[in-house]
Chains A and B, each alone.
Chain A
Amino acid sequence: MKKYGSSWLGMALAFAALVGLSGAAWAAEAPILKSLSGAEKARVAKLIAGAKKEGSFSWATNLAPVKAAKALEKDFKKYYGLPGVKFRFAMRKSGTLIKRFEQEIKANKLSVDVVVLAAASWLHSMIKRGNLMKYTSPEDKFFVPAAKAKMNAPGYWVADGQLNTMAVNRDLAGNVKLTSWFDLTNPKYAGKVLVGDSSRSETYTLWYMGLRRVLPKSYFVKLNAQNSGIMIRGSAQRRSLMAGEYWFGTTIMARHNWIAKKAGVNMSPIYPKEGTVALPIGAVIMAKAKHPNMAKLFVDYWRSVRGHHKMLEYNPLNSGRPLPPHKNPDINKFILADDGIAPPLDRINIIPIDWGKVGHDDVKKWRAEFNDVFSSAPRKN
């Protein structure tokens, strides 16, 4: 009897200690509050108190891989003193997420608080229909490069950039100097250039539309005549460039250069002097978000230097704000450098596009032109 009695006592004490410790973790001042003062400290403290009551949070993106999302979650919880909040996360294609959320909004069953997407036309449509919450984060004022490129929607989002730009497999092409889009029309590169298929992808249509502001149609006619390949998925383009099927990509996202680099293939981006198209990536709060306090805190974190630096450890992102050096020198060298995988937008010549004015008719128009230019298949492979 005595033996069992002491076991029960021990278990009760351990349980009490556990409850006490977790309570202490919730009650202790969040690290972020130590760096704040005055009204801003009170604002964040109020949001944290609200977030504790909400207890959970849901976000979705087409950008961050699961590992990055988990790392962001862990760091966020630690920094904001919210260890007990339950996170839900989904990574899908932007089209899939949009379809789902549109139906959820119609049925009044929204399951997500924050969406991080490179889908400007949908995000602007969401503003028009009153489906996004107005929120200005203290971090927003730093996104000047994105504002210059007309990528922000003040009050709703400030943008980072999804760059679909030129990339080269240097293991095959060597140290060739490429500074202009026109360099790819050099006859010696015939059959070695890969183009994103704008006839089947809105992202690449917008890329085509953007580049046509600085390049003539004849440029693309020449690219097609030079036996350029076209492919739809970014992952297929990455595989093709890594395997050496093509040497030069024209619509390669930073993530794909990063994946190639991790696997030991020297694939690097080029930012041509004529300019690069950057699709705005907006982290937005849904108007009917069930966890608005958590959503605001997470958006603050996403837009902060800390959030950007954490993301860069797992996934490259062209920051819409200038960034100080990262504590990891490799990230500074391979990602943030001027010729790195994802330098902030202030170091790149971005083609300004007023994304609020780009509609479906533009997509149709430019897709029709792309189809016209690239309708004939290459003669040889």
Chain B
Amino acid sequence: MSTESDETQSSLKTGAAAAQAAVAPAPFLGRMFNAENLTKVGSLILLTVLAIVPITVYLQSSFRVHVEGSQLGLTLANYVQTFTEPKILRAIWNTLVIAVGTAFFSSIVGVALAWFHARTDMPWRGALEPLTLIPFFLSSFLGAIAWWALAAPRIGILNRWMIDLFGVSTPPFNIYSMTGIIMVMALFYVPYMYLFTIGSLNRMDPALEESARVCGTGVLRTALRVTIPLSTPAILSGAIIIFVVSAGVFGVPTLLGPIARIDTLSTVIYVKMEEYPLDLGGAAAAGSVLMLIAVIGLYVQRKIVAPRSYVTVTGKGFRPNRVMLGNWKYAALALNLAYIIMAVVLPLGALFLASINRAWLGGFRWSQLSFYNWDFILFSYDYAMDAMKNSLMLGFVGGFMTVVLCTFLSMVILRGRNKKLSSVVDYVATLPIGVPGLVMGMAFLITWIKTPLYSFPLFLLMLAYMTRYLPYGLRTITAILQSLGAELEESSRVCGESFIGTIRKVTVPLLRPGIFAAYLMLFIMFIRELPVSALLATEDSTPMAVALYVISENEALGVVSAFALVQAFILLVGTILFRRLGNIEKLSV
């Protein structure tokens, strides 16, 4: 069978080469204005409207000093302040430590879990996958609140248990620390890495691993030397995105940082953006550091990934075999369960206990048992219900539009011959990731307030979400596309199928796991988005994240917890729905 397949492929390739050779060299203008270049230029124009204009507004702000209601001439003062003020320099250092720590730990755990689920015979995989993804349904800010209830030195449930059970004199856990911040963030970013890598691992031809095993290489060594390196594009994409995004996270350091006097770039930006007169210039200059980190990350990724081939899906057929772990499968299961306990059971448990106590007095009290919080959220608070409807609309429709755009852009970037233009499209589409949400929201507001779109706040929110989260969808889909050999599409073209027909019949079906993973990721992110929504949403377009903020300001922890759990439930149902819609057994298969 495989010999026949090889022969067919070989003859197809020969045919393709002959067809290429038969084409005479086109004149210069013909080469410039071909369909590929025009598509790429069109994509660049679209990205310019969506991303470049707001980012330019943002960057030009960094060269201005803003005073009451106006701005002064061009200056470098904001950058001078950013790179000379000790407090900001300390914040940059803290940010780097947190981002590196978060990316490192979430990558290790996320890749390990993805490998267990995609490539090994670890038991209970089907049941554990949705549980492993649950932390993704909560914002890291809610995670921080939950971990505050668990591990605050004086009142944390875990600390109290440890003191009561083991008689330790001082609380063993201190969530108000650099370690605490990194731990909370890493726990909540593991699903990002999982989603980034599982598609690529699932699509991998097991023959590569089997060859290694036949040569006498052990399971772990095969994973480290063959499987993981072949997933480098996905892992690097995930790690860089987690690094950049965690550098811009605001909620966790805001809640857990002050007691230990830990400032980060995001808290510096927050201060500059929240007072009057608004220091947009200072915030943009500080935010530029984050954008620089994103650009460097992308550059490094391209430098490492570009020169090598990561094609793992070719025209050859394969049977999806799993690596037999033997007794080690129980160790894998134990690691997965430990993660679920740390990232799901403990924080959601804390939120649940808080939700059934009328007041949270530092631990669950039977005397406080009450269903008031649930009754309030589910039956008495129209505002929360309206917000849920808005969020679902934004998540489903906006997520779909974004995933279509991301799929198109992925093909523009990875297929075709003009690599330089592809790189430009890739860089431009990835830039929004480096702009912190607070500053991005402001840039959108400044840009779009002058257009008629401002009268359509829900549509405006959708555009803002699309731009902000474009890089996430794009990285997920390009990572999968990178692992698909172009020969399948070329064969289709040689056999007479049109460009569109090839995309429809070959590329999209092969990309489907990645597309659904990206859609799900975007759906969840859209529902959780806060900083841009807070600025752009009106009363009629208020999404859940803004409602959650309003609730957290005006209600006790129990109500906040009940609403957070409702949000997590909606996202869990959404995930199941996505799996049904995609007609897929597992999330990314």
Contact = CB atoms under 8 A, between A and B. Distances in A.
B276 A111 contact: no
B519 interface: no
Contact of B556 (A129, A244, A260): A260
A89 B446 CA distance: 22
A197 B145 CA distance: 18
Nearest to B457: A111
Interface string A319-337: 0000000000000000000
B574 interface: no
B278 A99 contact: yes
Contacts of A229: 258-259
A242 B449 contact: no
A377 to B, nearest CB: 4
Given A98-B276, A99-B442, A235-B552, A376 B261 contact: yes
A125 B277 contact: yes
- Chain B, interface size category, equals 35 or more
Given A103-B446, A263-B558, A125 B254 contact: no
B30 to A, nearest CB: 45
Contacts of A34: none
B361 interface: yes
Contacts, number: 149
Interface string A77-101: 0000000000011111101101110
A202 B277 CA distance: 11
A245 B275 contact: no
Contact of A200 (B155, B267, B446, B550): B267
Nearest to B451: A107
Given A93-B274, A99-B278, A378-B259, A244 B362 contact: yes
Contact of A239 (B276, B360, B449): B360
Interface in A307-345: none
Given A245-B154, A376-B261, A125 B534 contact: no
Interface in A57-113: 65-66, 88-93, 95-96, 98-100, 102-107, 109, 111
A381 B153 contact: yes
Interface in B539-583: 539-540, 546, 550, 552-558
B535 A96 contact: yes
**Interface size of A as a range:** 35 or more
Given A231-B258, A381-B259, A201 B360 contact: no
B539 A89 contact: yes
B259 A264 contact: no
B84 to A, nearest CB: 15
B361 A363 contact: no
B174 interface: yes
A348 B534 CA distance: 35
Interface in B263-293: 263, 267, 270-271, 273-278
A153 interface: no
A104 B535 CA distance: 12
B152 interface: yes
A163 B80 CA distance: 37
B361 A265 contact: yes
Given A93-B274, A377-B261, A88 B155 contact: no
Contacts of A264: 358-359, 368
A200 B270 contact: yes
B539 A90 contact: yes
B535 A245 contact: no
A171 B359 CA distance: 12
B523 to A, nearest CB: 25
A119 interface: yes
A252 to B, nearest CB: 14
A118 B558 CA distance: 27
Given A197-B258, A200-B258, A260 B176 contact: no
Nearest to B156: A245
A239 to B, nearest CB: 5
A201 B258 CA distance: 12
B361 to A, nearest CB: 6
Contact of B360 (A100, A243, A262): A243
Given A235-B552, A243-B155, A377-B259, A103 B274 contact: no
Nearest to B154: A245
A233 B360 CA distance: 18
Nearest to B159: A381
Nearest to B552: A235
Nearest to A171: B361
Interface in A353-381: 360, 363, 371, 374-378, 381
A66 B449 contact: no
A211 interface: no
Contacts of A111: 538
Contact of A259 (B145, B449, B540, B556): B556
Contact of B276 (A88, A122, A260): A122
Contacts of B274: 93, 95, 201-202
A232 interface: yes
B38 interface: no
Contacts of A265: 359, 361
Nearest to A107: B449
5 closest residue pairs by CB, A with B: A95-B274, A263-B359, A381-B153, A65-B554, A243-B362
Interface of A: 65-66, 88-93, 95-96, 98-100, 102-107, 109, 111, 119, 121-122, 125, 128-129, 171, 197, 199-202, 229-236, 238-239, 242-245, 255, 259-260, 262-265, 360, 363, 371, 374-378, 381
Given A119-B276, A201-B271, A264-B359, 18 more contacts: A90-B539, A93-B534, A98-B278, A106-B449, A121-B276, A125-B277, A200-B267, A200-B270, A230-B259, A230-B261, A239-B360, A242-B361, A243-B152, A244-B154, A245-B152, A259-B555, A360-B276, A377-B259
